[in-house]
Structure 1
């Protein structure tokens, strides 16, 4: 029997929302879009980093968290605190991605120079991308905290298998969103370099709201 389609749809919606929120991944893929002939090595690196995290969660960390509800509660509060802090930072000051936009507005170098400097080092771009996503606290908290909440203990599939499938949904959302962001970065930022500031501030507010939702849900579970 396949996994609950409602859970899969809900997970996809939440994962896509998290991926859309600007962060280190956005900054890296935007810089790749502005700098390199192709974003494929950088994008592949980001996905490799998250695939490694998904594997770790599915075979060990995720199962342990699912078996220890108090650990999940603690991690959820930690995730909420981190998201609130990150959201407030975005609201108070432009994030790194907005800095990229400002650089473009000031006058980016011509397209030939960045390609010549980095186009022949795809393995370096892949390794850098893997490091960006593998060390991204937001991504790790998504995989460790949010994914277990979409598992079904009574389902036909074991928890590790469910976590693996849900993790692949997250990676797929990353591939879709970051492909669009990377490919359109140069054209969009050159045309309207201040647009990303607006998107970033809206995302900052969304992070704060998500943090509040996480806390309210956990408190309701504890008191229920």
Structure 2
């Protein structure tokens, strides 16, 4: 709920470039990229994927060592995620930059949904 309130209180604006966004926030493009990679890398879903999905695709009796199979699957997954995230980011930036009203609507809807989901989880927690 706090995050949703923060989004509604201070909505972000779409800037012309990452360099402008970096200079406005006092960060470089590299720092922004490293922050995003760190946030994504610390996501516990990555470990969940590794421990739940990858083992069923690894054949210990296969021709390749288990470490090689694991590395190949991990690299393939990272490459696919990079392509998808890059495409979503570029398309979102393009659409939201050309339609500032859409950017404001998305920001308001995101903030409101965060507050609603937080409220729902709070009620569930108190009831349970």
Structure 1 and Structure 2 fold alike (TM over 0.5): yes
1:176 aligns with 2:83: yes
For 1:133, the equivalent position in structure 2 comes to 40
Is the 8 Å Cα contact of residues 58 and 66 (structure 2) preserved in structure 1? yes
Distance 2:50 2:16 in 1: 36
1:152 aligns with 2:36: no
Distance 1:119 1:179 in 2: 23
User: Compared with structure 1, are the counterparts of its residues 110 and 136 closer, same or farther at alpha carbon in structure 2 (3 Å cutoff)?
Assistant: closer
Distance 1:154 1:161 in 2: 13
For 2:69, the equivalent position in structure 1 comes to 162
1:188 aligns with 2:92: no
Distance 1:155 1:127 in 2: 36
CA deviation string 1:67-100 (max 9, x = no partner):
xxxxxxxxxxxxxxxxxxxxxxxxxxxxx8xx69
Give the CA deviation at 1:123: 3.5
1:157 partner SS: coil
For 1:111, the equivalent position in structure 2 comes to 16
Which has the bigger relative contact order, CA under 8 A and spacing at least 6? 2
User: Compared with structure 1, are the counterparts of its residues 148 and 110 closer, same or farther at alpha carbon in structure 2 (3 Å cutoff)?
Assistant: closer
Q: Which 5+ residue runs of structure 2 have no aligned equivalent? A: 110-128
Q: Which 5+ residue runs of structure 1 have no aligned equivalent? A: 1-95, 198-224
Give the number of equivalent residue pairs. 99
For 2:116, the equivalent position in structure 1 comes to none
Give the CA deviation at 1:135: 1.2
RMSD over aligned CA atoms reads 3.6
User: Compared with structure 1, are the counterparts of its residues 142 and 189 closer, same or farther at alpha carbon in structure 2 (3 Å cutoff)?
Assistant: farther
